[in-house]
Amino acid sequence: MTAPKKLFIKTYGCQMNVYDSERMAGALAASGYETAERPEDADLILLNTCHIREKAAEKVYSELGRLKPLKAAKPDLKIGVAGCVAQAEGEEIMRRQPAVDLVVGPQAYHRLPQMEATLREGGRAIDTDFPEEDKFDHLPAARGPKARRAPTAFLTVQEGCDKFCAFCVVPYTRGAEVSRPASRILSEARDLVERGVVEITLLGQNVNAYHGQGQGGPWSLARLIRELAGIDGLKRIRFTTSHPNDMGDDLIAAHAEVDKLMPYLHLPVQSGSDRVLKAMNRKHTAAQYLDILARIRAARPDIALSGDFIVGFPGETEEDFRATLDLCEKVRYAQAYSFKYSARPGTRAAGRDDIPEEVKSERLARLQAVLARHQAEFQQAMVGRTLPVLLEKPGRMPGQMVGRSPYLQAVHMKAGQDQAGQIVQARIVSAEPNSLAAELA
């Protein structure tokens, strides 16, 4: 009997890449691959890359450099680069790093078995096309249909972006907005629930732009959420990442009316300055963004808000930056992500005059101080409250479990491992910047 081949996938970046890595593993299972825990044990190593953050490509090349000695010691080892860096760099990856055997873009994962067969025949394989066929039509179902899953799972419902923000590479690496048919999403969700999943996070580059075909015509994300809420055993629904311009009334209403939809919304704004927002091609103003948040809070008063910010965008003045600080004071985010602007080749802003690095760093420090203060206030406000906590996995201490609150906070508490997947009532006894401590209520 032939020993199974081993596959090791290192995943960078967002939750969509986590989901994609699972599907790539499923696609290669048909070629006889099982998952390896370490790269040293693998016959095929895939780096599933992200191109959003600064120097993303250089980090991938650095990782490939670390893998080069492993391949020298194990000549039959195959190395592949997948994801957005693969899409952006293409053949340049193979030219710059000859140890790479395979390069595959995000829309061609379903072709991995054919590409792997090319490797076995001694060739190299590259596919960074945007194929006409939908990869989800060809990717197999997750391996082991009856295998138990962790209580939470990601489920991609939409990919790509048509917004063309001036700083963003996503339209170039993921392509135009495409939504999966509702029936396939519902089927995959039911399968996840049958295998122990009780919370599903719906994923998309612009997830609230979802317009997949459903019964009676295209469905909105709100319609999809309402249908998912009807699945017995599914207890929690989340979605990310959203664009303000796609936050329709029906989705706001769903936050008020669908109990399974968690009171947490990640809605990036990037800047509080209308002048900068226009330069970013965001197609909304700060006032319009705040109006959306006001309507969401009216529908779901306990909602926790999260956001993204870029500081030091080309042309940003001190007055522009102070407008961002003012917006943060008005919103008081429960959580937020903030970064210094860095140019991405091929994007609209890439050729514009940059702001000095020391100015960016100083502004980022000021913004993060404000955001950290608001997050600490939100965390501290949890102390003394009783929250439903979904227990997910063992903690670092014996007899401890880690779960998630409705607001996506990590919660540490005493509980048995056999309680994984259960939602328990927990009284919050203390708060840290990024987690809560609780005891059974």
Domain edge (last residue) among 380, 400, 422: 380
49-53, 163-167, 267-271, 364-368: which has the minimum mean pLDDT?
49-53
* Helix, coil or strand: residue 317: coil
Phi, psi of 193, rounded to the nearest 5 degrees = -65, -40
User: Which residue matches tokens 């700083």?
Assistant: 167
The number of domains in the chain is 3
Q: Is residue 229 part of a domain?
A: yes
Q: Rounded distance, CA 358 to CA 262, Å?
A: 39
Mean pLDDT of 396-409: 95
Q: Residue 280 CB: number of other CB atoms within 10 A?
A: 23
Residue 142 pLDDT > 60, yes or no? no
Residues belonging to the binding site for [4Fe-4S] cluster are 14, 50, 84, 161, 165, 168
Whether residue 372 sits in one domain with residue 228: yes
pLDDT at 44 > cutoff 80: yes
Measured CA angle at 288 (ends 284, 289), to 5 deg: 85
pLDDT of residue 144: 45
Q: Which residues pair with 5 in a beta bridge?
A: 33
332 located within any domain: yes
Return d(Cα 86, Cα 260) in angstroms, integer: 37
- Give the domain range for residue 413: 386-440
User: Where do we find the tokens 């201490």?
Assistant: 397
Contact 28, 142 (CB under 8 A): no
Residue labelled with tokens 């209403």: 253
d(CA 45, CA 29): 14
Model pLDDT, residue 402:
97
The pLDDT of residue 3 is 73
For residues 175-188, give the mean pLDDT. Answer: 93
Closest Cα to residue 280, out of 314, 232, 251? 314
Same domain for 407 and 300, yes or no, is: no
Give the confidence band of 42 by pLDDT, cuts at 50, 70, 90. Answer: very high
Peptide bond into 241 cis (omega under 30): yes
In a domain, residue 141? The reply is no
Specify the 3-state DSSP secondary structure of 214. strand
Q: Which two structure tokens, joined as six digits, stand for 24? A: 């790539």
- Enumerate the H helices of 260-418 as residue ranges: 274-279, 286-299, 318-331, 357-380
For 107, 163, 272, 310, the CA distances from 244, given in Å and listed in that order, are: 26, 11, 13, 16
Q: Is the pLDDT of residue 172 over 90?
A: no
Same domain, 255 and 214: yes
Task: Compute the C-alpha angle 418/191/247, nearest 5°.
Answer: 100
Domain with 96 in it: what CATH number? 3.40.50.12160
CATH number where 252 lies:
3.80.30.20
Q: Is there a single domain that holds both residue 347 and residue 420?
A: no
Q: What is the pLDDT of residue 440?
A: 94
Say which residue the tokens 């090349």 belong to: 61
Indicate whether 370 and 421 sit together in one domain.
no
pLDDT-derived band at 210 (thresholds 50, 70, 90) equals very high
Write down the pLDDT at residue 52: 66
295 shares its domain with 199: yes
The pLDDT-based confidence of 131 (bands split at 50, 70, 90) is: low
Average pLDDT over residues 134-150: 59
Task: Write down the residue that tokens 């919660």 correspond to.
Answer: 411
Sign of CA dihedral 285, 289, 292, 298: negative
> Residue 111 — pLDDT band, cuts 50, 70, 90?
confident
Closest CA to 192 of 159, 148, 229: 148
Question: Mean of the pLDDT values across residues 196-215?
Answer: 95
Give the CATH number for residue 394: 2.40.50.140
Evaluate whether residue 140 is within a structural domain.
no
Q: Give the mean pLDDT of 411-436.
A: 95
Confidence of residue 400 (pLDDT cuts 50, 70, 90): very high
Q: Average pLDDT of 234-243? A: 96
Q: Which strands form 152-156's sheet, in the order they lie side by side?
A: 152-156, 199-203, 236-240
For the chain, give the number of residues: 441
Per-residue confidence at 191, pLDDT binned at 50, 70, 90?
very high
Look at residue 109 and give its three-state secondary structure: helix
Residue type, 356: P
pLDDT(336) > 70: yes
pLDDT of residue 145: 47
Give the CA radius of gyration of the chain.
Answer: 22
Dist CA 20 CA 8 (whole Å) = 14
User: Residue 134 — pLDDT band, cuts 50, 70, 90?
Assistant: low
Handedness of CA 111, 112, 113, 116 (dihedral sign): positive
Q: Which residues lie below 8 Å from residue 62, measured CB to CB, with a gap of 6+? A: none
User: Whole-model pTM?
Assistant: 0.83
Query: In the chain, pLDDT over 90 holds for what percent of residues?
Result: 70
285 and 351 share a domain?
yes
Using an 8 Å Cβ cutoff, are 38 and 178 in contact? Answer: no
The winner for highest mean pLDDT among 82-86, 249-253, 339-343 is: 249-253
Same domain membership, residue 152 and residue 213: yes
Look at residue 136 and tell me if it is in a domain: no
Pick the last residue of a domain from 364, 380, 396. 380
22 vs 239, more confident: 239
Is 405 within the bounds of a domain?
yes
